[in-house]
Structure 1
Amino acid sequence: MQNIMGDFKKKVVIIDYNLGNLFSVKQACDTVGMNAIISSDKKEIEEADALILPGVGAFIEAMTNLENLKLVEPIKNAVGNGKPLFGICLGLQLLFTKSEEFGSGEGLNLIDGVIRKFPAIYNERKIKVPQIAWNKIYSSKQHWGNSPLSEIEENEFMYFVHSYYVDPTEESCVMTLSNYEGLEYCSGISKNNIFATQFHPEKSAEKGISIYRNWAIINNLL
């Protein structure tokens, strides 16, 4: 009976564009009970009830891969139609207008803003780039109570791996902030049906897994 009932679960597609921590994301989805598949198939993405856009790597290469796989429009259409989208790390950055990486690369433009590189020197101090570390997240003006972060404490540590950070135009979409070597930056956003984090919840122990669970609950995916 459980298998029969499972067939009726809403389908989540983890988008595969050849850059990403796909299997750790899939494992996190399995752990919380989501019906998630990894796919680069345009039809699967169009038919999905929700999308996860993970990623680790270069912004321009990622956008090129999405364009070559003809996935840009399906992703934008899904968001435009109100389907939930969860972006992770590079997947967060791809949602923005453009990146400063290697000049200027155009993103999905679902969130207005720019992707900037951590400076090699900040406040007259050299800083290590990329940031590969556990770092704190803390709240901006958005309240975490009815969000995927509802089980997260203020100043909870999450796992980060990145050289670039998002600089949103709209302050209202900023959900979490972090501080790296004195530079405060946006580490998580929420806008309408989009939720995305710079950190990796799937690599952030049980508290990170709770973010997947609560995202699924909020969007009726279990």
Structure 2
Amino acid sequence: MTTPVVLIDYGIGNIFSVTRALTAAGGSVVASDDPMVIAQASRIVLPGVGAFGDCMAELERRRLIGPILDYAASGRPLLGICVGMQVLMRTGEEFGVHSGLGLIDGVVRQIGPTTTNGLPRKRPHIGWSSLLPPRHRDWNESPLTGTAAGTSFYFLHSFAVVPDEPADVLAETKYGGEHLCAAVQRSNVLGVQFHPEKSGPAGLALLHGFLTSPGSAAMHGQTRNDRPAKPSRTGNAFDWDSKLEPPMMTKPS
């Protein structure tokens, strides 16, 4: 039995690869930028590549910001991938300061130019990196249930999410000696910085976990993080009314 899922197709994101991965994970995918389709969805995925500001501008141009915020307020599951995760935040600092969706409090900042040892750090962060649970929570009853700490996922990014609240961090990765936020979760809203569609079996397991989540009651996982997402339009600068694309990969043995 497949699970219906709407993939927001706003002209930014690797729609083909994400569709293929969601289908392999058990989803019945409809790619759409129709606000009515989004409003009626049982779960949605927001992909994204490129720059934070460009993604927000395109969502605004297609008048999708209001429908996404209203959808998130309903408690139905929402997954943001890569820049789709970043725009869940309040602001992004890529090529200027831009307002995000504000579903999770936090900012998106460029990864620092040096490692913790003072050596030059390669940017973008590209390739396989291990996923680790933060100190304050585990992955029980989250879409990462069953994923072993240290499992590798495929990353490609130069900017990283910095949530205001540690409780919103679902997973971290270590790069250049620094712990970076790799996944966020607040109630029904989930975001991953890595590309599950390019992360082989581990990525498909994550997508399956998202597809089988019943909604906000299960998405928050921990009682320590049961605050609702923040879909209010207050403070959002948007009115209601390049890219490296590796193929889907399997981590080398």
TM-score, scaled to structure 2: 0.81
Report the alpha carbon displacement of residue 195 of structure 1 after superposing the two structures with TM.
Answer: 1.2
Percent of paired sites with the same residue? 37
CA separation in 1, counterparts of 2:22 and 2:53?
27
Displaced runs of 4 or more, over 4 A: none
Instruction: Return the alpha-carbon distance in structure 1 between the equivalents of residues 25 and 51 of structure 2.
Output: 29
For 1:199, the equivalent position in structure 2 comes to 194
Separation in structure 2 between the aligned mates of residue 158 and residue 103 of structure 1, nearest angstrom: 29
The size of the alignment, in residue pairs, is: 213
Residue equivalent to 2:177? 182
Q: CA deviation at 1:29?
A: 1.4
Task: Work out whether 1:147 is the aligned partner of 2:147.
Answer: no
What is residue 162 of structure 1 aligned with on the other side? 157
Structure 2 residue identity aligned to 1:81: S
Structure 1 SS opposite 2:132 = strand
CA RMSD of aligned residues (A): 1.4
1:211 pairs with one of 206, 220, 228? 206
CA deviations on 1:60-79 (whole Å, 9 max, x unpaired) are 00000000000000000000
The answer as to whether partners of 2:77 and 2:210 remain within 8 angstroms in 1 is no
Query: Which secondary structure state, in structure 2, belongs to the residue aligned with residue 25 of structure 1?
Result: helix
Please give the alpha-carbon distance, in whole angstroms, between the structure 2 residues aligned to 1:60 and 1:103. 8
Output the TM-score relative to the length of structure 1: 0.92
- Kindly provide the amino acid, as one letter, of the partner of residue 40 in structure 2: E
Greater mean deviation of Cα atoms: 45-54 or 119-128: 119-128
> SS in structure 1 opposite 2:171?
strand
Alpha-carbon distance in 2 for matches of 1:90, 1:155: 23
Contact 1:151 1:207 in 2 (8 A): no
Whole-Å separation in 2 of the counterparts to 1:10 and 1:133: 30
Displacement, 1:10? 5.5
**Counterpart-to-counterpart distance in 2, 1:103 and 1:33:** 39
Retained in 1: the 8 A contact 2:3–2:26?
no
**Residue in 2 aligned with 1:33?**
26
Name the CA distance, whole Å, in 1 between partners of 2:10 and 2:18.
Answer: 14
Aligned mate of 2:122, from 125, 128, 135: 128
Deviation at 1:33, TM superposition (A): 2.1
> What residue in structure 2 maps to residue 50 of structure 1?
43
Deviation at 1:121, TM superposition (A): 2.5
The alignment partner of 1:135 has SS state of: strand
1:10-58 Cα offsets, whole Å, 9 max, x none, are 6311011111021111111111221211111111111111110111111
Give secondary structure in 1 for the equivalent of 2:146: coil
Specify every segment of 5 or more residues in structure 2 that has no aligned partner in the other structure, as ranges: 216-253
Q: Which moved more, 1:141-150 or 1:119-128?
A: 119-128
| Structure 1 position 171 matched with structure 2 position 162 | no
- Confirm or deny: 8 A CA contact 1:200 1:208 kept in the other structure: yes
Alpha-carbon distance between aligned partners in 2 of 1:40 and 1:155, rounded to the nearest angstrom: 36
In structure 2, what is the equivalent of residue 85 of structure 1?
A: 78
Equivalent residue, structure 1, for 2:251: none
Distance 2:21 2:70 in 1: 26
* Residue matched to 1:112: 105
1:18 pairs with 2:21 = no
